[in-house]
Amino acid sequence: MCGIAGELRYVSSPSPVDWPRISQMMARRGPDDAGVWSDGEYCSLVFRRLSILDLTPTGNQPMLDASGRFALVFNGEVYNFQSLRRELETKGYSFRSTGDAEVVLYTLITWGVEALDRFNGMFALAFYDTVEKRLLLARDHAGIKPLYYLHSDNGLIFASQFDQLLAHPWGRSCRVSEAALGLYLRMGYIPAPYTLLDEAHMLEPGCWLKTSPGGPTTTGRYFDFPANAEPRLRGVEAVEAVDAAVTNAVRRQLISDVPVAAFLSGGIDSPLVAAKMVAATSDGPMRAFTIGTDDPATDESEDAAAYAHELGLDHVLERFSPAQAFDLLGDVIAACGEPFADYSIFPTMLVCRLASREVKVMLSGDGGDELFWGYPGRFGSVIEKAADFRQSYWWRSTRRAASKYLHLGDGYANLRWPTIGAWYRAKHSYLSEANLRQMFPRLPEWPGDFPLFDYDGWEVDQTALWLRYNEFAGHLTRVLLKVDRASMYHSLEVRVPLLDREVIDTAAKIDWRTCLDIERGIGKIPLRESLSRHVKHQSTKKRGFAVPMDHWMRGALRPVVEEVLLSRFDLAGLPLDQKGLRAFYDRHLSGGADYGWGLWVLLSLALWEDRHYCLIRERSQ
């Protein structure tokens, strides 16, 4: 796990870039080694290393092949590198190192873009051909590792962190993207391919980009999660397939030249990963890390401890109060190179900090909810009412109006939306359109070229599949950004076995009814069945460490809101109606509404902007 950056100049000329500064910006991603390489004409590559495989200098990057023609910087891990290495050895290649980076280099040399689909891992990479002057960028299938890039007339720059683009001279004349701001205000993060700058992008998961001086820039996709795969696995057969896939994935992801441990919650996913970790190793007690809280409503450390006891884990549990989480405010803003408002990053930062004191590699349970219908409230509520959308919008609006007139309650609230996609978008929005327009008189419209919530179907099976696709392509990317930023801030590699290619391929074949019991409100049933083979204890309600943002906004954060947010006339250049914002905040203060999520979206953007004030000011003028 590392950090990468670099540029491809479209004209052969010396670069004025302060690469040591840009490298230092991602020092936490790779504190063990730093490298810079240039062909002296067009391309420069920068690397920071967190040493996990092959701890010797032979694993350092940028890495060149034996001929010196090809160069690579590679952030992440490819877990099937040993089988790829054996295949390459049959073709006559010999290797100097024992890690995966050199295998990635020669796999790309041998198969080009087609090599990407051979990798089972998490990665962001840049691969340069010094003869053809061609740069290839690529990102893993699920978007576990981030990769940003910016096009200008001068060339292309790329980096693991968005703030590195801001620090590059080519980024200083770029405009703030109002479309991206609109997405952020609604969703609490900026989804790929958008970034805060019009000229910059985040490479989408499963995608690649090629560019060269004087040549076209081309993009392509080598992996896309199937939105409408015909289910072929049900019942016991599905459970057996999932169990085998997760077992194989955890075994693959245990490969490391440093100790590996696991996060342990009181839920299902991380205990399952921890159970498979214990079953796959005989190296003595494996370590697991949990954070607890003093709030019984959100504390799940008792369940985590029960799992640890049954599995024989060396369990490290540390309790934190909400006040201690609040103390991380500055670190949270520092860890996010672009605006990000998922405040579950506070507990994620806490547990990453705890684990990083003792280990460098952790296994996580992220991905289980999105792949196996694990949000029964979100999934179930839509599936149950999907058939309502078979009728025309006019008929549905009339039916809702009649129910309100007859005082039949708001059981038909879903009928206010023209499509299931629009309804689901509202479920993922932190601020309502009405509140946003009250505060932002020039609120950007929803981008027409962002199709995540474009769904007008109603058939139950089709809707269930679309819901999972939406969660995988949307919500999961936000979760992965959070984990990457929190873990890399503490120089910690986090691996996600449930997003292994084999697990994803298996999940895509499963019928949703095998995973989700709407009546009981239980999801990801195959994962539960798999876990039951290892432990007797199993929790049915996921709680998790939750920060009291509603309370913070009325108390500890109130001076910050008053000073940093309410005094503003704009946010990142978007005009702000101070009276509308004041009324919004006052309603929260009075207890008339709980707007903690929405206020944090606004405040975190303001805090982020202040941290990068000089750069933002240059763009807004």
Summarize pLDDT for 426-478 with one digit per residue, the tens: 999 999 999 999 999 999 999 999 999 999 999 999 999 999 999 999 999 99
For the chain, residues classed under CATH 3.40.50.620 are 235-371+484-532
For the chain, residues classed under CATH 3.60.20.10 are 2-147+203-221
Q: What is the CATH number of domain 2-147+203-221?
A: 3.60.20.10
State what percent of residues in the chain have pLDDT above 70: 95
Per-chain mean pLDDT for the chain? 93
What's the CA angle centered on 482, arms 597 and 375, to 5 degrees? 65
Report pTM: 0.95
For the segment 219-275, what is each residue's pLDDT rounded down to a tens digit? 999 999 988 888 999 999 999 999 999 999 999 999 999 999 999 999 999 999 999
CB atoms closer than 10 angstroms to residue 338: 25
| Mean pLDDT of the 135-150 span | 98
| Mean pLDDT of the 383-399 span | 81
Q: In this predicted structure, what is the pLDDT of residue 284?
A: 79
Q: Where do runs of H (alpha helix) occur along 254-386?
A: 269-280, 301-311, 322-326, 329-335, 345-356, 368-371, 376-385
d(CA 528, CA 583) in angstroms, rounded, equals 46
| Mean pLDDT of the 412-420 span | 82
d(CA 302, CA 308) in angstroms, rounded, equals 10
Instruction: Inform me whether the pLDDT recorded for 617 exceeds 60.
Output: no
Q: In this predicted structure, what is the pLDDT of residue 324?
A: 86
- Residue 287's H or E segment, with its range, is strand 287-293
CB atoms closer than 10 angstroms to residue 441: 11
Topology classification of domain 235-371+484-532: Rossmann fold (3.40.50)
Candidate from 280-294, 371-385, 537-551, 583-597 with smallest mean pLDDT: 537-551
- With beta carbons less than 8 A apart as the criterion, state whether 307 and 290 touch: no
